[in-house]
Amino acid sequence: MSKLTIPKEEIMSSGHLACQGCAGALAMRYMLKVFGRKTMLAIPACCWSVIDGPWPYSAVSVPLFHTAFETAAIAASGLKAGLVAQGIDDVNVVAWAGDGGTFDIGFQAISGAAERNDNILYVVYDNEAYMNTGIQRSSATPYGAWTTTTPANHPKDRPKKDLVEILAAHRIPFVATASVAYPEDLIKKFEKAKNTKGFKLIHIFAPCPTGWKMPPELSIESARLAVQTRVFPIYEVENGVHYKLNINVKNPKPVGEYLKIQGRFRHLKEDDYKVIQGNVDREWKLLMRKVETFK
Amino acid sequence: MKKVILGDHAVSYGALLSRVQTIAAYPITPQTLIIERLSEMTANGESNAIFTKVESEHSAMASTVGSSASGARAFTATSSQGLALMHEMLHWAAGARLPIVMANVNRAMAPGWTIWTDQNDSLSARDTGWMQIYCQNNQEVLDSIILGYKVSEQVNLPTMVILDAFFLSHTAEGVDIPDIKEVDKFLPPYKPEIKMDINDPRSFGALTSPDVYMEFRYKMQESMDKAKEVITREGKEFGKMFGRKYGLVEEYRTEDADTILVASATVASTARAVIDEMREAGQKVGLLRIRVFRPFPTEEIVRVIGGKKKVIVIDRNISFGKTGIFFDEVKGAFYNYTGNKPPMFGYIAGLGGRDVTPKVIREIMDDAIKKDKPESEILWKGVKL
């Protein structure tokens, strides 16, 4: 297999407004390296509404349409339809949204675009809460996490919504998880999405040091630990049924190693760790069954 | 070519003749016939538009916004609850300065469930930055779609073409369907100055501080003011080419009238018969139809009814806690008028599709004519209590 290279060209400039250690900013940098200048972005309300810079500035050298919170998928679809109607077929349109705009308020439009198999890439940079509004829980917030709307004495008591499975159920050509801690895998997935027609969704695990109450230098480490503890498996599903595990974790670390470096889990006790470990083990087993069944 | 068609199909033909490039729509009674016909037109190749069958009206407008931002001529149609659902994106379309044209079939808002006409759906969108055209017949519906693009693409604001549920949407009338080559001469392809373009990458709709936001809104108002001239000019131009002239308002037998009835949409077309009947009986009455509600034709209204003895406004809508909305705005137009202000009577009639027949209009006229001044701000017509 040929050695993977990450394109050198920077289409995102360094003068953006992201917090230190923002994985959402890093993810955009990688995506644009792969997608290049023949790309247009639709971005709903999310951290990236701020990161890109206020009018008249922009941190990306591609056209960007800021759109309403729940409309990333459909604004991108509309953009794509408009371009194709004008005979412009070679421009990629990417919807780029946070977890709130994806798992919650934008969910209906995503389901619509996925069901129609609209020819766009949807990327969710998932920092597991409404970070731009100041750390409120979303349906992507994991079990046990503190947020400003799930205080430490009543943390989130429901698991994270399983977005990839729901998208797989739409039988779209390509849906995958990815992580900024595994850039080679991330780049490959962007390339695959770029070369696949129809609706694609990449779910990127994107640590937020500000919202997770951890030092910025732990951003990549926490993302890597999420994979190594099997909290966030890296896999893909083609056409809704062909499961492939991209990063195998043969000897997982205990979940505590991932949880203990983040302030948002500081209130958890040993018993809570056990519950979370049990959940992670069960979900991994389920995923392995699918990988085995459909490989 | 003259054809007998429904109001909804007049919308479909208007979109076809405007060579719209994208359509995104969601079905709602009584708009469905519009999009069914457009589905046929795009399926059989009559229209080259890409039709996205979206999962909600909110997405219909969001999709239309995206397509328009890419530089395509974009179209959608809705009604009532659908318009309410897309309200957020109405602001987006206007704020992004996109020349979208949308048909809205006026249908009353639930609850209770209703599919019949009144104007509260579109008037709730009054302050979104859309131009609003209230049509009186199917011909005007078709023509206003074409005119809508012609005007919108010059002032960079969207147009809502409005037709009454059933009284137009499902009523067959003779409509002259112009030759598309003639329409091409009137409405050239859309060539925006600024659009989403990979060779000229820009960010659209980015964060604005209090230091800059207000100027964007100032410019929208400036364009609304300019739109009055453009609507008038293009309405005349359209008249020269197709024999049907359109303006901001339409006057009927107003010149020597001492009493003026103000109405819109199909109530106005029905009222014309009542005016004729009263004229025959020697009464000096006339009709002012408000065709364009946004931008509001203040000067035209004052010119026509200033100095008259009496003004009667019929509203098929209500601003709860105030009055009928056309009545309120017509009254407001006169606040700084230094001439003789006529007493104004504001009637509310026909909510939820209740018939406003010639008899109803005649009773309203007779009621107002016999009184010196209205006994209350709202005069309810035909309420059964």
Which residue is closest to B25 within chain A, CA to CA?
Answer: A78
Specify which residues A200 forms β-bridges with: A121, A174
In the 8-state DSSP scheme, what is residue A136?
A: B
Whether residue A13 lies within 8 A of chain B, CB to CB, comes out as: no
Across the interface, whether the CB atoms of B207 and A53 are under 8 A apart is answered yes
Percent of chain B scoring above 70 in pLDDT: 100
- Dihedral sign, Cα of residue B313, residue B318, residue B319, residue B320: positive
Q: What is the ipTM of this complex?
A: 0.97
* Residue B175 and residue B157 in one domain: yes
pLDDT at A1 over 60: no
Across the interface, whether the CB atoms of A79 and B70 are under 8 A apart is answered yes
What's A88-119 look like in SS3? CCCCEEEEEEEHHHHHHCCHHHHHHHHHHCCC
Token code pair at residue A226 = 């999420």
pLDDT at A57 over 60: yes
Mean pLDDT, chain A, as a whole number? Answer: 97
Across the interface, whether the CB atoms of B207 and A74 are under 8 A apart is answered no
Determine if the peptide bond prior to B295 is cis (ω within 30°). yes
**CB-closest option in A61, A67, A118 to B201:** A61
Give me the CATH number covering residue B116: 3.40.50.970
Q: Which of B218, B242, B266 is the last residue of a domain?
A: B242
Cα distance between residue B315 and residue A147, in whole Å: 51
Res. B216 pLDDT band, cuts 50 70 90: very high
In the 8-state DSSP scheme, what is residue A247?
A: S
Cα distance between residue B52 and residue B205, in whole Å: 24
pLDDT at A16 over 80: yes
* Residue B212 and residue B230 in one domain: yes
Note the helical H segments in B200-295.
213-242, 265-280
Task: Give a yes or no: residue A10 inside a domain.
Answer: no
Question: How close A44 gets to chain B, by Cα (Å)?
Answer: 10
* Residue B216 and residue B365 in one domain: no
Determine if the peptide bond prior to B30 is cis (ω within 30°). yes
* Residue B17 and residue B151 in one domain: yes
Lowest mean pLDDT among A4-18, A25-39, B157-171, B277-291: A4-18
Give me the CATH number covering residue A276: 3.40.50.970
Give which of B59, B75, B97, B128 to mutate to test A binding, by max A Cβ within 10 Å.
B59
Cα distance between residue B71 and residue B203, in whole Å: 15
Query: How many alpha carbons lie under 13 Å from residue B58 in its C-beta half-sphere?
Result: 16
Domain of A155 in residue numbering reads as 23-294
Over residues B48-61, the mean pLDDT reads: 98
Task: Give a yes or no: residue A18 inside a domain.
Answer: no
**CB-closest option in B55, B65, B212 to A78:** B65
Determine the pLDDT at residue B58.
Answer: 98
Token code pair at residue B102 = 């949308």
Across the interface, whether the CB atoms of A75 and B68 are under 8 A apart is answered no
Over residues A54-83, the mean pLDDT reads: 98
Task: Give a yes or no: residue A7 inside a domain.
Answer: no
If one counts every other C-beta atom within 10 angstroms of the C-beta of residue A173, the result is 18
Q: Which of B199, B216, B242 is the last residue of a domain?
A: B242
* Residue B293 and residue B232 in one domain: no
pLDDT digits (tens, 9 = 90+) for B313-364: 999 999 999 999 999 999 999 999 999 899 999 999 999 999 999 999 999 9
Question: How close A57 gets to chain B, by Cα (Å)?
Answer: 7
If one counts every other C-beta atom within 10 angstroms of the C-beta of residue B284, the result is 16
* Residue B124 and residue B224 in one domain: yes
Cα distance between residue A155 and residue B42, in whole Å: 52
Mean pLDDT, chain B, as a whole number? Answer: 98
* Residue B100 and residue B194 in one domain: yes
Task: Give a yes or no: residue A236 inside a domain.
Answer: yes
Task: Give a yes or no: residue A13 inside a domain.
Answer: no
In the 8-state DSSP scheme, what is residue B194?
A: S
* Residue B321 and residue B225 in one domain: no
Domain of B364 in residue numbering reads as 249-380
Across the interface, whether the CB atoms of B54 and A112 are under 8 A apart is answered yes
Task: Give a yes or no: residue B286 inside a domain.
Answer: yes
- Dihedral sign, Cα of residue A254, residue A260, residue A262, residue A265: positive
Task: Give a yes or no: residue B141 inside a domain.
Answer: yes
Q: What are phi and psi of B257, to 5 degrees?
A: -75, 145
Note the helical H segments in B244-373.
265-280, 298-305, 325-333, 358-369
Q: Which of B242, B275, B300 is the last residue of a domain?
A: B242
Task: Give a yes or no: residue B385 inside a domain.
Answer: no
Give me the CATH number covering residue B355: 3.40.50.920
* Residue B237 and residue B103 in one domain: yes
Res. A2 pLDDT band, cuts 50 70 90: low
Across the interface, whether the CB atoms of A67 and B22 are under 8 A apart is answered no
Whether residue A149 lies within 8 A of chain B, CB to CB, comes out as: no
pLDDT digits (tens, 9 = 90+) for B254-312: 999 999 999 999 999 999 999 999 999 999 999 999 999 999 999 999 999 999 999 99
Whether residue A63 lies within 8 A of chain B, CB to CB, comes out as: yes
Res. A18 pLDDT band, cuts 50 70 90: very high
Q: How far is CA A47 from CA A26, A44, A85, A210, B226, in A?
A: 13, 9, 31, 12, 37
Per DSSP, which regions of chain B are E strands? 2-6, 22-25, 50-53, 74-79, 101-106, 131-134, 159-164, 172-176, 203-204, 249-252, 259-263, 285-290, 292-294, 310-315, 344-348, 379-380
Task: Give a yes or no: residue A4 inside a domain.
Answer: no
Task: Give a yes or no: residue A67 inside a domain.
Answer: yes
What is the identity of the amino acid at B69? A
Give which of A86, A107, A111, A119 to mutate to test B binding, by max B Cβ within 10 Å.
A86
- For chain B, which residues lie within 8 Å of any Cβ of chain A, measuring from their own Cβ? 21-22, 24, 48-50, 52-56, 58-59, 62-72, 74, 88-89, 92, 196-198, 200-209, 212
Over residues A36-48, the mean pLDDT reads: 98
Q: Are B342 and B309 in contact (CB under 8 A)?
A: yes
- How many folded domains does chain A comprise? 1
- How many folded domains does chain B comprise? 2
Percent of chain A scoring above 70 in pLDDT: 99
* Residue B125 and residue B209 in one domain: yes
Task: Give a yes or no: residue B57 inside a domain.
Answer: yes
Task: Give a yes or no: residue A165 inside a domain.
Answer: yes
Q: How far is CA B273 from CA A67, B17, B39, B268, B357, in A?
A: 48, 32, 37, 9, 10
* Residue B177 and residue B299 in one domain: no
pLDDT at B32 over 90: yes
Judging by DSSP bridges, how do beta strands A174-179 and A121-126 pair with one another?
unpaired
Over residues A43-65, the mean pLDDT reads: 97
If one counts every other C-beta atom within 10 angstroms of the C-beta of residue A34, the result is 20
pLDDT at A213 over 90: yes
Determine the pLDDT at residue A294.
Answer: 80
Over residues A93-121, the mean pLDDT reads: 98
Cα distance between residue B361 and residue A198, in whole Å: 56
In the 8-state DSSP scheme, what is residue A227?
A: H
* Residue B183 and residue B208 in one domain: yes
Q: Are B251 and B275 in contact (CB under 8 A)?
A: no
Determine the pLDDT at residue B267.
Answer: 98
pLDDT digits (tens, 9 = 90+) for B92-110: 999 999 999 999 999 999 9
pLDDT digits (tens, 9 = 90+) for B165-197: 999 999 999 999 999 999 999 999 999 999 999
Across the interface, whether the CB atoms of B71 and A76 are under 8 A apart is answered no
Q: Which burial class, exposed, middle or buried, applies to A36 when counting CB atoms under 10 A from its CB (0-12, 13-18, 19+)?
A: middle
Determine the pLDDT at residue A63.
Answer: 98
Cα distance between residue B70 and residue B373, in whole Å: 54
Across the interface, whether the CB atoms of A60 and B203 are under 8 A apart is answered yes
